[in-house]
Amino acid sequence: MKKYILTIILLLCVASVDTLYAQEQTRAKAKRETIKLGEEMPHKSNSTTHRKRRGLTQHLIIPKGEWQVGAQISHVSMSSSNSEYALLINGLDANGSLTKIAPFVSYAFKNNQAIGLRFQYTTADAKIDAAELDLLSDDLEFELENLRGKLTSYQTSLYYRVYVGLDNKGRIGLFNDVALGYTNSKTSFRYNAQTENAYTRSNQLKLSLHPGIVVFAMNNLSTHVSIGIGGVSYNNTKYYRDGALVGKRDFSKANFKLDILDISIGLSLHL
């Protein structure tokens, strides 16, 4: 009798283990459900209210849980020898450049939505060796020489990005960044001996917008281009000469327009 009871108990234990194993396998398969890039994402709708939707169809391009690491790089240079606007000034000999390098990391907390952190280093240099400006009158003539301006800044920004997939292959999409950034910069403008040790130190807090387009060259590698369209900022600027504080200024501004000096080309690795 004891043998039959032990056999029944053993069979019940085996059946329970098989049931638990089957449930665990089912949950594991549900977690590893394949995500199909490019599939159409459903729109939230109200059964009682029917509204016309815009013609742009939303496709999945960045799945939830994806990490991105990469960098944005931009460089702009101009010389008086290749600018049609510089021909308006006689004898102008000038050149300038602007370079930005910005590594970043982001995480997709939801399909086609990500939050990220970006660090940016910016350097700009402009120099005028000689220039003669004649404002249509002999009484309004200016001569400039040996002018130089230099800017160095460091920026940290937190951004929220929304993607719009454009094709059913998950290869091309649009995006928009809403970024909150803090920038510390140093600017010097030298034109004579008195300004050799003069410079300004600025701190800026800015909320800005950066729309762009992203293209996947490979399955886990994409490139994107973005442009700044302005934002709202608060600025604190202090002017120093020979290490002593000469003056300061606090101001805020809102400016929304296409900024050709804020065009960035980036490369992202998707993990």
Record the tokens describing residue 240, joined without a space. Answer: 């120093």
Rounded Cα gap, residues 11 and 170, in angstroms: 51
Rounded Cα gap, residues 43 and 51, in angstroms: 11
Largest CA distance in the chain: 125
Per domain, the residue ranges of the chain are: 1-28, 60-270
CA dist 52 → 42, 43, 45, 56, 165 (Å): 15, 12, 11, 12, 20
Q: How far apart are the first and last CA of the chain?
A: 61
- Number of helical H runs and strand E runs in the chain: 1, 10
pLDDT at position 117 is: 95
pLDDT at position 114 is: 94
Mean pLDDT for each consecutive 10-residue tract of the chain (271 residues)? Answer: 55 55 51 52 55 66 92 77 55 75 93 93 80 60 71 93 86 92 89 76 92 90 90 90 84 83 86 88
Q: What is the dihedral of CA 199, 200, 201, 204, to 10 degrees?
A: -150
pLDDT at position 95 is: 75
Domain 60-270 fold: Porin (2.40.160)
pLDDT at position 106 is: 94
- Dihedrals φ, ψ of 165, to 5°? -70, 135
Rounded Cα gap, residues 177 and 116, in angstroms: 10
